[in-house]
Structure formats: C-alpha cells, structure tokens
Amino acid sequence: MQRFKVTQISKPFFHSTEVGKPAPPQKLSKSYASVFKKWVVRGLKLTFYSTLAGTLYVSYHLYRESNPPKQIPQSSAFANGLKKKELVILGTGWGAISLLKKLDTSLYNVTVVSPRSFFLFTPLLPSTPVGTIEMKSIVEPVRSIARRTPGEVHYIEAEALDIDPKAKTVLVQSVSESEFFVSNVNYDYLVVSVGAKTTTFNIPGVYGNALFLKEIEDAQNIRMKLMKTIEQASSFPRNDPERKRLLTFVVVGGGPTGVEFAAELQDYVDQDLSKWMPDLSKEMSVILIEALPNILNMFDKTLIKYAEDLFARDRIDLQVNTAVKSVEPTYIHTLQGGQKASDIPYGMLVWATGNEPIELSKVLMGKVPEQTNKRGLLINDKLELLGAEESVYAIGDCTAHTGFFPTAQVAHQEGEYLARTLDKKLEIEQLEWDMLNTADETKVSRLQSEIDSKKSKLDKFNYKHMGALAYIGSETAIADLHMGDSSYQLKGMFAFLFWKSAYLAMCLSIRNRILIAMDWTKVYFLGRDSSV
C-alpha cells in the first residue's frame, strides 16, 4: 500500500504523520494548552492595562473636577481699557448650564440668577421616584459648575420677577427665607432660560389633587405619596373597594414623561414590590391615560406600536382617546372618544400633559408688543428676543419653538450656540475698540476688514436633531435616531443599553456618571431602595 505524507502546514496543530497513524495525543493537547495559556495571559494583561487606564482616566478627571484651577476675577474693564460687559443668565437648567459650560466666562462679568441652586439631569428624573436612581445622583450644584469655568461667576439664589428691556434691568426676589431681598440687577446682555411649567389646561381639580414630575421636589413628593398609599392600602382587607382604589395609580399624559414614569412604576411593582408584598403587588394597577389615539407621538410608528404592545404585555392599562376633564380627590372624570364619560378612582395621580409658560415669560409677553405668541417667547434665528434684539436672548423651553419639540437636546444646542456667539461678539467689540484707539490708517482698514469678516461669520442657529430615546419598562427602550437624512429605529434590550450609555455620556460630570452607574449596579444586585 502506498503511503502518503501530509505536509506540515503550521506548528503546532499539524504534525508530519503517516496515513492511519494519528498524531500523538499527548503532544496535541500540550500544544492546545500552551495556546490557551498564551491567550489567557494576553486577556489578563489586556484587562489589567484597560482597568489601569480607565482608573487613571477617571481619577485624573475626578481630581480636575474637585480641584479646578484659579479663576480670573470679575473686573470693570479689560487690560486695554475696554469695559467688561455684564452678562446675566436666568436659570440653571439645560439651556443656561450648556451656555455656562461652553462660554469663556473670563470675557464677561457673568451673573447667574435662579431659584434652583443646582442643575437637574431631567432625562433620568422619571427613574427617581421609585428608587432606580437616587435623586442626588442627577443633580449638580451650580456653584461647582461655575467654579470650573475660566472666569469668576456670581450666583444669586433668586427668582426673576420682571425684565425692563429699555433700562436693561432684571427685578429679582430672593428665595432664601433667611436672607430676603428684592433688587434690580443690571445687564448689558441677558439670557432668558427659565424653562416652562407643566400645563393643566385649567382643568379643574388638577392643582391640589395631582402630582407633577418636573423638579426634584416633585419626585420626592411622588415617592412619599407612593409609599404612604401602599401602606394605607395594606390596612384594608382584600376585596375592599377602598383598597382597590388606593392601589390604582393613574398617570395622565402619554408623552415621554408619562410613559417613562408609568414604565418605572410598573417595574417597581413587578421587580421589587412583588418580592416584599406579593399579594398586594398583584392587586396594584398602573393606568396611563392619553387624549390622542397614540402615545409617544414624536416617535416612528413602528416604535409606538412596539411600546403599546409592551405595555399590554406588562399589564399597564393604556387608555387612549381618553381626555381627563376634571379631577376630584379620589377619582378623575374622563371623556372617551369625545363622548362616553367615565370615572376612574385613583390612589395616586401623576399629571404630565406638556408645557406652558412660567409667570416671567407671561410678564414679558404682556409688556413687549412683538411678543404675540401665548405658548412661549418669540425669538429670531439668532435666538434674540423679538422686541429686544440688541440685548436679550431667550433659549430652551421658555421659547415658542416651531418645528421641534421642547427638549434638553434643543436647549443644550441653543446654549452652546449662544456661547460661541457671545465669544465672537466680544472679539468684534475688542477689534472695534482697537480701531477707536488708533490713528494709523492702514491699521484701521485692516481692523475693519477683520471686523467685517467676523460679523459675516455670526451665523444663525441651526438645530441638528439627533433623535429621541425613551425607556418603556422591563429593561427595554426605544430609540429613533437621526443621522443626516437617514433615520434608524432601535427597540428592546439593545436600545435599552444604548439608552443607558447615551445618558451616561450626556451627564455633565464624572461624579454624576459614577453615581448613576453605581445606582444601576446597586438595583441589579440589591433591588430598589424606595424608603422615603
């Protein structure tokens, strides 16, 4: 019989051998073992170095965050004699803080006026009432944000009551009980970024009976009411109608706020309460009421359908085409399809039906004739307030947007745009000042062309919509992403991971990122802490 030789292809897998004679098993397993060992060592090395790099990166940024360099103090003028302008920013929300973070604060004497001394990361606010995220993890003091900017920033804990665009003053009133004052703050430039409040459409009984979800105190109120109501219900015997009413939780408004909160609430019932109060948890019901035929109307239709199907599976009672007409202390009165009336008893009611202007915006609408829109402040394409274009800007939810929803994404982009504009404006003023102070003809014409070129670069605000994300419960989310002219829809578990990473990336500080990541990990292993 002829004998063949197999050519050796590569060590150590193939060995020169004769047909019918297998390679010695001992040698083969030895070579596998050595390759395996090599890869394990490589894996361990990679893990070690990436952990080390990650730790160094986080430590360095944490150090930088908690030890910011010295700031340039406020002053009346620059070294060349040009007067430093007073820039007053109203608000500490998405618009104001995005502006503050991006602006070179050494170029202006910056004063921030807001009744809220911290920034609130609203996208994760619906996770806080049930304890998925701790409230302190999504707030950041305005003083620490301001301290990390190049120039000194003054903060006044007060509410703006009125604006006089002619005299360029803002009337402010302190919110601190210990130090009450009402005074005028002068400005050269004013940025109004005061947000909006939850609208009730003047539906009777909403104030006094319903809870809102806009600020951190709202989340605290919901948490307290939720826990109290559950305890109260447990004192009634099973099948008692009062127990059934108390265990009915109604959310009004099928926009993203209502949907995300209803989803978090149902998660809490299914994943936590079911362990500690199994019988009672089975009796709890979450009802989501929406006046339109669908929830989440800013999302793609396939995603809306996915969310509605998931709600049906997760036992969230979705009642669409149902508008709340009045609210009583123990039940709501609704109209279905505009006709059939029905009363829904509730133990806790959360109201999330969109935005309306706050008092200060209404005051401005009343006194500036160009402000003719009742939904929000009117601005031009450079974000200047109509009627006070030369000195007042308005950004974020307090403005009447056309074409896009009032979101953090819009307010953030507007804030960053305004920071760039204010930087450029000062460069122009510096050049104009230099021009005033020189008699050299060639220098004057060079400065003039530089000024013209800079002025031509003061572009208008151009919003880039990146898409929308929403958590819909049971560790699933939906994402409607936009890139250029294309759009992509993600749903389910993968979208949930994307949602988590997107929000971690959006956080303003490493500190918040660490706290939020720790909260998620804690919930995974230990469950939610919903103690009040």
Cβ(398)–Cβ(356) below 8 Å: no
CB of 44 to ligand NAD, least distance (A): 40
Radius of gyration in angstroms for the set of CA atoms belonging to the chain, rounded to a whole number: 30
Q: How far from each other are the two terminal CA atoms of the chain, in whole angstroms?
A: 87
**Residue 524: count of CB within 10 angstroms of its CB:** 9
Phi, psi at 228, each rounded to 5°? -65, -45
Chain position whose Cβ is nearest to ligand NAD: 255
Cβ(470)–Cβ(256) below 8 Å: yes
Cβ(111)–Cβ(117) below 8 Å: no
Which partner from the list ligand NAD, ligand FAD, none does 411 bind, CB cut-off 5 to 8 Å by kind?
ligand FAD
Q: Which stretch binds ligand NAD (CB under 6 A): 104-112, 140-148, 280-288, 465-473?
A: 465-473
Which partner from the list ligand NAD, ligand FAD, none does 255 bind, CB cut-off 5 to 8 Å by kind?
ligand NAD
Binding marks (x or -) toward ligand NAD, 292..311, rule CB under 6 A? x----xx-------------
Structure tokens at 437: 């102070």
Chain position whose Cβ is nearest to ligand FAD: 93
Q: What is the SS3 assignment for 201?
A: coil
Residue 90 binds to ligand FAD (criterion: CB under 6 A): yes
- Spatial distance between the Cα atoms of 255 and 304, rounded to a whole number of angstroms: 11
Residue 352 binds to ligand NAD (criterion: CB under 6 A): yes
- Spatial distance between the Cα atoms of 59 and 269, rounded to a whole number of angstroms: 38
Which partner from the list ligand NAD, ligand FAD, none does 94 bind, CB cut-off 5 to 8 Å by kind?
ligand FAD
Cβ(530)–Cβ(130) below 8 Å: yes
Binding marks (x or -) toward ligand FAD, 92..111, rule CB under 6 A? xxxxx---------------
Which partner from the list ligand FAD, ligand NAD, none does 146 bind, CB cut-off 5 to 8 Å by kind?
none
Q: Which stretch binds ligand NAD (CB under 6 A): 63-71, 147-155, 257-265, 280-288?
A: 257-265
Cβ(398)–Cβ(96) below 8 Å: no
Peptide bond into 141 cis (omega under 30): no
**What amino acid is encoded at 188 in this protein?**
D
Residue 258 binds to ligand NAD (criterion: CB under 6 A): yes
CB of 149 to ligand FAD, least distance (A): 17
- Spatial distance between the Cα atoms of 323 and 51, rounded to a whole number of angstroms: 53
User: Judged by CB, which is closer to ligand NAD: 168, or 214?
Assistant: 214
For the chain, give the number of residues.
532
Which partner from the list ligand FAD, ligand NAD, none does 114 bind, CB cut-off 5 to 8 Å by kind?
ligand FAD
Binding marks (x or -) toward ligand FAD, 119..158, rule CB under 6 A? ---xx-xx--------------------------------
CB of 30 to ligand NAD, least distance (A): 57
Residues 6+ apart with CB under 8 A from 108: 84, 85, 86, 87, 151, 189, 422, 426
Window 378 to 397, contacts with ligand FAD (CB under 6 A) = 396-397
User: Judged by CB, which is closer to ligand FAD: 289, or 470?
Assistant: 470
Dihedral sign of CA atoms 364, 369, 372, 377 in order: negative
Residues at the contact surface with ligand FAD, assessed by CB under 6 A:
90-96, 113-116, 122-123, 125-126, 159-160, 193-195, 213-214, 257, 358, 360, 396-398, 406-409, 411
